[in-house]
Structure 1
Amino acid sequence: MTGPDARTLLSLGQNQAGKDVSADTPTKDLSVQAAKAELARLAELLEQANRAYHTDDAPDITDADYDALKRRNAEIEARFPALKRQDSPSDQVGAAPAEGFSKVTHAVAMLSLSNAFEDADVGEFDGRVRKYLGLSADASVAYTAEPKIDGLSLSLRYENGALVQAATRGDGSVGENVTANARTIADVPQTLTDAPDVLEVRGEVYMSHSDFEALNVRQTEAGQKPFANPRNAAAGSLRQLDSAITRARPLRFFAYAWGALSDPLSDTQHGAIERLKALDFQTNDLTALCDGPEQMIAQYRKIEQLRAALGYDIDGVVYKVNDLALQARLGFRSTTPRWAMAHKFPAELAWTRLEAIDIQVGRTGALSPVARLTPVTVGGVVVSNATLHNEDYIAGRDNKGEEIRAGKDIRVGDWVQVYRAGDVIPKVADVDLSKRPNDAMPFRMPERCPECDSEAVREPGDAIRRCTGGLICPAQAVEKLKHFVSRSAFDIEGLGAKQVEQFHTDGWIAEPADIFTLRDRFGSGVQQLKNREGWGDKSAANLFDAIDEKRSIDLNRVIFALGIRHVGEAAANLLAAHYGTWAAFDTAMRNAEEGNAAWDDLLSIDGVGAVMAHALATTFNQEAEIASIDRLVAQLSIKEATRPNTEGSPVAGKTVVFTGTLEKMTRAEAKARAESLGAKVSGSVSAKTDLLVAGPGAGSKAKKAAELGIETLDEDGWLDLIGTA
């Protein structure tokens, strides 16, 4: 068993660093420290879920679980805006491209959508649009409403009418080049007539229910494993390295958007979709124009009623502002457009037998219970695994010891209700005690790690039990190695998760430093490696050359690659920028103790809190960890960090506060403009404020700024300052 996957992390329940924090703790009850810790847990959990869904085509939590975690993260950030992490899930889109494909940088980012779950959310979306644009409640704003296809996003680039490139979404900025495979899809035109010279058409690759069933029959007859659901089948088919396999798969494509354009398709969303249809793309006939929230919800209800008869999977309805000029004004947040939103369908339920409870061990040593179920079809998808969160959840208690499920515990042999939304692994929601076997015994979490037999300790106030084996625990070791070679870490060409598992099993690598001694330990290394299945002279030589290329590496990548709890990619960037060199970072971490100068300096970094600081200090004060890090660093030449060039922006790095009434732009537009120029926009005036922009009606903020001697500008002065920067 390996980990952590997203369902493993879901089982944490209580936050690892919090005294009484869990996913069940209301946001209003969180202290500042607990909120920091919970945001750290959510960042790790959602990053793993994104990788499982977007990169591995193997999602392991439900859409509803994922959406709930995103909502909780957003709620905490809204209540504690100063605690928003540099690696906040709110700022993330998708996941890194998979290995095996060349990479494509999108000319226009492929962003995700914000979600609605209740009818009231639709009205709030319309209200936000009107407020941002400065429109009255009775002003007319038209929207389109269309089914949200549950497939794999694809961008098709045409130049002078010819298809020249196809790419998956990837992480939103960089995707996978799947041009050869896209050419095999019947719904993808190879040439266009009367199209703009440059046209990027975006849409969703999917598989119909009937084609999916027929494909699984063929898979079974050929002695191959059937696919779990149409979405996974479509994603796996599009991402085949052999396009002949893709050609044999019944893939379809719906067009619903666009990226780079040399000429506009229309002045409205609906008109642009009609233009794509005229260019011979398949578009969804259920796309409708709506005048306001009532009509949007009515179209949602219509599509929801038709859902079972469509013949393909959808998981909601997408609303978009119809006027493209208004879309341009509304613009984007960091990862989502302000002019669009997805209204998701509710989750689904089913009952089945709990056959066993297995324990998975994650990268941080967390022991996580996973339910093994008698396979059951839920909404057309066969599921056999579910998350059980943590031992308190199994016992029928929340993190405060209060009853959940009316105090009913969960036992092997129980008849359980499982919950899912979309097409992925569910969670156990309830138990039918009337069907409990007479010999069913209460579940007890193991007190020793099932992987290495080290003691598994549950610290006071923590919901999880954690293996103390560290580097000697194979489950932790292999997951740390996978993290080490991940895209944002060392990203060694030809050495991915699969190869890491293989090399670890063979005893070739036990820690990161071992990767860089492979060639020396094997002589040339090529002969032993090329004898393995899937390796030849060239691929083996290329791997060792790729390893050598990464001996010289950026400081931020090294810090991230260490896999320290709570230290994500953005945090690693912050630490690298602050300390500059490995020597300075290493010295500071080894000397950081609560209350001393090194500790205070660490906490002074914007984005670093006590939870992260404790994790760093703990890592650099463990003898085995330090020895492993020293062996690694001895193999490397770590580059000094470079600071970004902000030349040209008069407000880059400054803290700006807006107050009073702005007359030439809305407050939201002013904030977005300032942030785009590198400024930090704050809601309150303090000694750290560099500039106050005050419109008519400015009150206490203007007075405080004057008392502190802070520079103050009116709106015209602000516009003159930023000019065309």
Structure 2
Amino acid sequence: MSPGAAEDLAARAAELRRLLEYHGRRYYELDDPEIGDDEYDALIDELRAIERDHPELQTPDSPTQKVGGAVVSELTKVRHRRRMLSLANARSEAELIAWVERMRAHLAREGIEDPQFDYVVEPKVDGLAMSLHYEDGVLVRGVTRGDGETGEDVTHNIRTIEQIPKRIDGAPRWIEVRGEVYMSLADFEALNTRRAEAGRSTFMNPRNSAAGTIRQLDSRLARERPLSMWCYQVGETEGISFDSHHAALDWLSEHGFPVNPDIARLRTAEEVVARCEGWQERRATLPFEIDGVVVKVDDAELQRRLGVVGRDPRWAIAWKFPPTTAVTRLIDVMWNVGKFGTLHPFAQLEPVHVGGVTVKLATLHNEEDLARKDVRPGDDVIVLRAGDVIPQVISPAPHVAERRDRAPVPRPPVRCPICDTPTVKGEGVFTKCPNRVCPGRRWQQLQSFVGRAGMDVDGIGEKQVSALMEAGLVSRPGDFYRLTADDLTRLERFGETSSANAVAAIAASKERPFGRVLFALSIEGVGTVTGRNLAQRFRTIDALLDASAEQIAGTPGIGPIVGELIHEQLSDERLRAVIDDLRALGVRMEEEGPPPGEGPLAGKAIVLTGTLPTLTREQATERILAAGGHVTSSVSRRTDWVVAGERAGTKLEKAERLRVPVLDEEGLEALLRGELASEERNN
């Protein structure tokens, strides 16, 4: 290598170290990252490659040789008995197989030929790594990872986490339990709602909220922000040892520590790859955030022989998912018209790769949310895309507030962007297009009609609705039921098979429950729950149309103002014409099942959590309602049963705490048959 090239390489290594120190500090210490995981990993991979090929350029303080950042808080520093390591990454089957081959090569050099690996695969929860210290079975200290060598004593906040045992029976003289402290998605959303209502800044993601909470000096603040923990490893011990990682996890579970029930022990790399890909597919359905899957060699002796390289154990690796957040430039704020005329802002973005796709547009929800977030054209903004959720702008990037040349605050347009009608400010906080026949409103209403919460027509989505409207085939809900397969095959988006399937799905939707039909009609003030309540109370469309505003207002969940609003719309001749058309076409316009107060579940409150084997949440809800019961969203002492499926979250934990009976899908079926409804609960 020429002297000039060597100088360039050394300069690049120094620049990479500087960048990694800077971004590592923002992530680990300030909980305010400026770049995503992919960008950070690319930087450290580049530095690791340079140091591997040119060992003379490696420095003792290189980010490749340590974890996280320095401890810079007012909390007491605690040195770890054993370093808390980080993990190398794999992002494909090829990279995971290469990791296995590297382990085999290393063990061969150790004199172990053809080692037989068992693997433990567990979710990589996106939270804050934590070390719990127990002396003679008593929790004496909780310590953050810090820089891997030294962490921060946060025992006062750790004690607020109900899941963590404060004392364990049959414990050794000393044991260290490691895990991840996190905030569930439901608790995170509730926390941000409370902060927004109080006029305070919101957290970017659950990890930031968990990290910010665990570092509070006042434990009362931590107690107000519910945290959880998954335990994933036993660290230093005195008086006990384990011959495998899985045996250690079993011990933790048996002694009351929260260990993820979906952790699996597998025999082949092919099984590991399939498991990792399965976790990635399930990612959006989990009640907590994960950013990958951790794969570990199970055998403790093999772990010891494999050892550590730099900051990473050779015997473990993280299969990383595409990041869910990214930073990009906000080009402009645009406006859509909702199905009730409300104007909704959305962001036009410089294209950015996030969550496995390229994002150009993202929602800003509503004008109140836009004002609260204070994002403006030209700002660098943080974009979130999790699973199949619509991409959304979370906030300006952290450095934006320092700019003095920001664009003016975006305001709602004075004329409707779709029909050019002058907009009005409603009684609430939102600007509206008052034109009830605005094409934008009509499109929203039609796609809502066939949408999942409405008539749930498989094969007819937003793009198909647009194509049908442009072709003049659909202008009001009843037109869907007049479509033929020949009509659809003439359109670009339909083939013969998809056309036939769509027509069959449309016909099947005529049997949707009456409450779903009421929601699908786009009556302002009627959501999915209100639709079910109206259907249960009035039983038929004629009884509802004949009801007074006062009678409608007497329905559970509806007060005088909303009752008057619904009554006014039901009196509109255009809506009545739509209803008559749908009734003539055979759409269900009456409620089935027993009236309220009748049926095997009359008066019973049931909470659903997790994923059931054969029933969707909507199907389970409809069957409970048909049996006379009602479904509530939160668990309390007044809850009669909790029905828990796979990946049940904090609702299941609360049910167990309150001793509320928990059933699986088979138990729910028994309830619906009336076999358990007469039993006394909490026996």
How does the TM-score come out when normalised to structure 1? 0.46
How does the TM-score come out when normalised to structure 2? 0.49
User: Larger C-alpha radius of gyration, 1 or 2?
Assistant: 2
